[in-house]
Amino acid sequence: MATLTGVQKQYILHWGEMGTRWGINRTVAQIHALLYLSSRALPAEEIAETLSVARSNVSTSIRELETWGIVRAVHVLGDRREHYESMKDVWEMFRLVVEQRKRREIDPTREMLRRSLEELDPKEPGAEFTRERIAAMAGFFDAVTELHDQMKALPTGTVRKLLRMGAKVKRVKAI
């Protein structure tokens, strides 16, 4: 079992807290942090010991991280256990998470809003008002989706470049 340095502990604990604030299980986040900081793939056993959590907890959490696509199992010669390692590319990791949270949360919300607009009975009291409000929210989510798709289509650096250019809005508009 790898003993953690102070800095590593600090990072892992902070990451765990961050996770809980964004709806991600603390252990899941901590395991990710540990693997991210690890220079070699770790077997479940070792993860459990290092973080002082149950082996079964690690199993579930790893599976969660695997479905996100940011952790994968690798094999080490002469060891039949699975060893787990984290993706190294930070941008790519966040891109994956954002894309999937969009699919799991944004998309169903748009769906709900669309359905609401359909189901709205114009005879209900205040229907017109309700429609306006829901349509405004739907418009926002549509725009976010559009934004997401456009960003996805661009190479990472380009987005930043474009925004930097945006500071000179007048010029850009003139193009």
Residue 27 in the binding site for DNA (CB under 7 A): yes
| Structural element, H or E, at residue 14 | helix 6-21
Closest C-alpha to 13, from 64, 22, 125, 32: 32
Q: Alpha-carbon distance 107 to 70, whole Å?
A: 22
- 34-73 residues in contact with DNA (CB under 7 A) are 43-45, 52-57, 59-63
Residue 22 in the binding site for its own copies (CB under 8 A): yes
Contacted entry of DNA, its own copies, none for residue 94, CB cut-off 5 to 8 Å set by kind:
its own copies
Closest C-alpha to 43, from 13, 85, 9: 85
Q: Alpha-carbon distance 35 to 93, whole Å?
A: 13
The least distance separating DNA from the CB of residue 76, rounded to whole angstroms, comes to 10
Please say which residue, 63 or 161, places its beta carbon nearer to DNA. Answer: 63
Please say which residue, 40 or 171, places its beta carbon nearer to DNA. Answer: 40
Contacted entry of DNA, its own copies, none for residue 1, CB cut-off 5 to 8 Å set by kind:
none
Pairing status of strand 42-43 against strand 79-86: antiparallel
Instruction: Return the number of other C-beta atoms located less than 10 Å from residue 72's C-beta.
Output: 16
Bridge partner list, 42: 84
Residues lying near its own copies in the complex (CB under 8 A): 5-8, 10-11, 14, 18, 20-23, 36-37, 39, 88, 90-91, 94, 105, 109, 112-113, 115-116, 119-121, 124, 126, 129-130, 133-134, 136-137, 139-140, 143, 146-147, 150-151, 153-155, 158-167, 169, 172-173, 175
